[in-house]
Structure formats: C-alpha cells, structure tokens
C-alpha cells in the first residue's frame, strides 16, 4: 500500500504556497508561476502583504485558508518556518516541501531551527521534503513545485531523486535535451523529514515509474534502504550516482546538505549486492537510464560494432572489453554476407569497418544493422555515427528506421549509437533520440553505459529472472 503522505507530495488535491509573491525576482513569484503553470488541483496563495497573485485570492496566513491542504510549499525565511509548520499541523496538512535554506547545513543555529520545524511537523504527522531543497515535480499531472523552469512533457516513466538541487536540475534539464521523459522528480536537500528508503519504496511500487535514478551524497538508514533496493531491482532498475567518494568531496557534502558521506567501499559493495547500477557521474546516470528506458535489455555480453572509422572502432572495442563486454569475431558465414555489401578493402570481422565510403552510408548502415539483428552471434549492436555520417540526416533516419523495424518484428536486441561529431550535427542526433534510439557521446561514455547495463543483466541472470522489455 502506498504511503499516503508521500502520495500527497506527488498527487496532491490541493497545494498552498506559503510566501507566494506577485513581485518578479522573488522566490515566491517563481513558485507561484510554476505551480499555476500546469497543475489542475486547488491552489491557495499565502502572503499577508498581497490580495491576489496570478488571479488567485491571497490569504494572510495558513489558518485563513478555507480548505484542507494536502501539500504546503514553503519559501519564507528559515526563522519563520517552525511557527508556520505548527499552523500547518493544526490544519491537518499531509505534506510540506520546504525550499528555504539556512537550517542544519548552516551550523548550530540552523540545526536548532530544523529540530523545531520537525518537532512541529511530527506533532501533525506531516511528511517533510527538505529543507534546503529545489522542490518536486509530477510531470504526468503538470505539477511543478520547484525552482525549475517550465513544466516538462507528460508521458514519462523515469523518476529521479536528487540530494543536490541545482546540479540535479541541471542533470534533469540535460536529460530533457536528449528527449528523455520523466514521471516524478524530488530534490530532497537536507532530508530532515523523509528517509531515502521511504522514497525508494514509494517509487518501487509506483506504476508510472519504470526506471529509478538517484543522485546521492549520503544514505540515511542504509540497512532499510538496501533492503528496499533488493526488493525493487528484480522488477525495475535503480541507477545511482554516489558522490562524496573522496575526502575532499565528503567535506564538501557536509557543508552542502549536512550529509555524512560514509565509506564508498561499503557503498560499492552494497550497491552490487542489491543490484543498484552505479553511475560515476550525472552524465553516466542519464546515459544508463536512457539505454534502460528506450531499448530492450541485452541477453549477453557480445557486441557487434559498425563503423566508418577504423580507429574509432578499435578504441570502442578496447573500452567495451575493459567493461566486461566481448567483441567476437563473426563467423565466416556472416562475414560472407557482409563482404557482399562492403568494399573489398573494408573489414567484415568485427568491428565491421565499412571505411569512409560516404555515398553508400545510408545503404550500408541500414543493411549491416539488419544482418546483426538477424545473427545470433551478437547480443548488442553499436553503430558508430561519426563525422560525415552524423552530418547526414538521411543516415540517422535510416539507422532509426531500421532499428525500430527490427524491434517491431520481434528481434529483441538493443542498439546504442556511439555519436562522434560536431555541434552543428546535433539536430540529426535528435532524429535518432526522438525515435528512442539512444546516442552516447564518444566511445568511453558509450562503453561505460553499455557495460553498466550489462552488469545489471548479470545481476538478473544470477537470480534467474527472465529478461525482457516491458511494454
């Protein structure tokens, strides 16, 4: 059964903005604009100095709001928060997102304020996100109660929890640039009133969430967290970046969100045991999530590489094998089929190097991909779309069309594009990614993402879990 207080954070029937403002440049203005931008539930603005904000009546205080409040979003100064939390508790509010900073991350005085705030919240059984956080989204109902700009597109199934607000939102924005769609987002900052395992449990049971992404500086109640992870990972993947891995970074985390980073060696072992996919950084996090969300899982480690550059193919082969993947030499029968297509001076072994024969790129990328889909000698296909190939929109269209045609015909095998090109070809990458064919920049990022996805497959195989792509 879902935790009703956490559900009130993501699916509130009413939202009250404490500290709302009609003055551009104020935090309360940004949140008023965001909350009214797409959310269809009841909205209450609270500010004693204003009568109306964005067409909504403004109430002088929480007590004056004429209805129950499911979710309170608080942007007033830290010293005023404990008293407002008392009023919210008396009103039966179910959840609060405290954006305001200046609590335990700011020293002893702030820590006392945070304790007072939580004492009031606990008396009223209010679930608190924050303080010192960026806010939350439920993209599928148009709710943006965050500092982020605009309301993202609906229809996503990736949920993202980040302890770092601004960086987490930068990761999120970059993912949107790559046409990824999200279900729920939470930036929980100091985590004073919500435990990591509670969020994980909620998203693990959430039907709208297919892939869970975490950006963590610390984990509270580690035993409960990893027990939840063990329960969830057999049915949906969890991808996590854990920062604060070095002494200098751990010190920075303590002043950023009052986090105790802990031993990374212990985290690494616990991630592996519970099936959590470790991502080294924010870019790896979104690359791995994209590959998991858009393509079926590979059934094995054998990679077929198609390239128009021998050097890039060699580098990618090295990096893939260093990630535990295999680049098998193709059988004579398969090589014969390939040799019938490529120039006599090209290589059919694997990597398949068609050479820079650009007038035939469209035909060759498409036909070589089809041969690898129909072959049982590889489990993963990586076309390298490099330079001139990336600058030709017809090549990207041919690759996307062929991949999706093969997947629709039941040839369940993932394709990940290794993209190596210049800025002005990015529009062509869009064509691939709008068609759910993931592109990863350069061989190293490609190998890391594919290696991490295969590591998750190995975790499932050790537990004898059938691998398939959910509809």
pLDDT at 265: 82
Phi/psi for 183 (5° steps) reads -95, -65
Per-residue pLDDT, 268: 86
108 burial (CB, 10 Å; 0-12 / 13-18 / 19+) is exposed
Residue 281 has pLDDT above 60, yes or no: yes
The distance of Cα 268 from the centroid of its chain, to the nearest Å, equals 20
Give the mean model confidence (pLDDT) for residues 286-315.
97
- pLDDT > 90: percent of the chain: 85
Hunting for tokens 């604060």 — which residue is that? 244
Whole-number pLDDT of residue 252: 66
Q: What is the rounded average pLDDT for all residues in the chain?
A: 93
For 218-246, what is the mean pLDDT? Answer: 91
Average pLDDT over residues 414-428: 95
- Identify the pLDDT of residue 449: 98
Closest residue by Cα to residue 219 from 260, 177, 169, 172: 260
Q: Which of 293, 284, 278 is nearest to 245 (CA)?
A: 278
Residue range 29-43: mean pLDDT, rounded: 96
pLDDT for 292 equals: 98
Cβ atoms of 373 and 381 closer than 8 Å: yes
Residue 109, pLDDT > 50, answer yes
Phi, psi dihedrals of residue 211, rounded to the nearest 5°? -130, 130
Chain centroid, CA 432 distance in Å:
19
Q: What is the pLDDT of residues 341-397, one digit of tens each?
A: 999 999 999 999 999 999 999 999 999 999 999 999 999 999 999 999 999 999 999
pLDDT tier at 83, thresholds 50, 70, 90: very high
Which pLDDT does position 142 carry in this prediction?
Answer: 96
Bridging pattern class, strands 182-187 and 135-138: antiparallel
First to last CA, the chain: 24
pLDDT attached to residue 467 = 72
259: confidence class by pLDDT, cuts 50, 70, 90: low
The per-residue pLDDT for 31 is: 97
pLDDT band at 151; cut points 50, 70, 90: confident
pLDDT at 471: 41
Provide the pLDDT confidence category of residue 168 given band limits of 50, 70 and 90.
Answer: confident
Per-residue model confidence as pLDDT tens digits over 56-70: 999 999 999 999 999
What pLDDT is recorded for position 258?
56
Average pLDDT over residues 96-108: 93
Q: Is the pLDDT of residue 413 over 90?
A: yes
pLDDT digits (tens, 9 = 90+) for 436-463: 999 999 999 999 999 999 999 999 999 9
Task: Write the pLDDT tens digit of every residue in 171-225.
Answer: 998 999 999 999 999 998 899 999 999 999 999 999 999 999 999 888 889 999 9
Supply the pLDDT for residue 402: 98
Using 50, 70 and 90 to split pLDDT, how confident is the model at 97? very high
Distance CA 38, CA 43 (A): 11
In this prediction, what percent of the chain has a pLDDT beyond 70?
A: 96
């Amino acid at each position: 059964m879902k935790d009703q207080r956490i559900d009130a954070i993501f699916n509130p029937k009413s939202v009250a903005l404490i500290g709302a403002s009609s003055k551009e440049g104020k935090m309360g203005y940004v949140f008023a604009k965001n909350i009214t931008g797409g959310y269809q539930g009841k909205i209450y603005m609270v500010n004693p100095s204003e009568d109306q904000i964005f067409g909504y009546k403004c109430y002088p205080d929480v007590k004056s709001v004429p209805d129950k409040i499911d979710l309170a979003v608080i942007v007033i100064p830290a010293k005023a928060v404990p008293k407002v939390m008392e009023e919210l508790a008396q009103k039966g509010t179910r959840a609060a997102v405290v954006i305001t900073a200046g609590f335990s991350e700011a020293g002893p005085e702030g820590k006392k304020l945070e304790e007072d705030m939580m004492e009031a919240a606990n008396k009223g059984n209010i679930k608190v996100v924050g303080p010192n956080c960026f806010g939350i989204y439920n993209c599928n109902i148009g709710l943006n109660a965050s500092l982020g700009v605009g309301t993202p597109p609906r229809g996503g199934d990736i949920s993202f929890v980040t302890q770092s607000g601004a960086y987490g939102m930068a990761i999120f924005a970059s993912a949107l640039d790559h046409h990824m769609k999200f279900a729920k987002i939470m930036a929980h900052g100091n985590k004073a009133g919500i435990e990591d395992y509670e969020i994980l449990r909620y998203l693990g049971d959430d039907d709208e969430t297919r892939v869970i992404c975490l950006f963590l500086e610390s984990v509270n109640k580690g035993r409960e967290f990893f027990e939840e992870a063990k329960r969830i990972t057999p049915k949906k993947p969890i991808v996590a970046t854990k920062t604060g891995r070095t002494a200098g970074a751990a010190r920075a985390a303590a002043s950023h969100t009052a986090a105790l980073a802990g031993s990374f060696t212990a985290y690494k072992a616990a991630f592996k045991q519970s099936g959590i996919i470790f991502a080294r950084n924010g870019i790896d996090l979104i690359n791995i999530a994209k590959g998991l969300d858009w393509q079926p899982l590979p059934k094995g480690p054998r990679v077929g590489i198609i390239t128009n550059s021998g050097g890039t193919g060699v580098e990618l082969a090295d990096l893939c094998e260093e990630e535990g993947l295999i680049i098998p030499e193709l059988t004579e029968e398969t090589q014969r089929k390939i040799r019938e297509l490529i120039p006599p001076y090209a290589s059919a072994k694997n990597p398949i190097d068609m050479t820079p024969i650009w007038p035939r790129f469209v035909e060759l990328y498409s036909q070589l991909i089809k041969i690898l889909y129909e072959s049982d000698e590889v489990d993963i296909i990586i076309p390298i779309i490099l330079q001139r190939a990336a600058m030709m929109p017809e090549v990207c269209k041919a690759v996307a069309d062929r991949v999706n045609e093969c997947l629709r015909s039941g040839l369940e095998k993932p394709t990940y594009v290794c993209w190596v090109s210049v800025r002005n070809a990015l529009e062509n990458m869009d064509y691939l990614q709008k068609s759910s064919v993931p592109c990863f920049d350069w061989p190293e990022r490609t190998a890391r993402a594919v290696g991490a996805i295969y590591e998750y497959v190995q975790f499932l195989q050790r537990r004898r879990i059938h691998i398939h792509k959910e509809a």
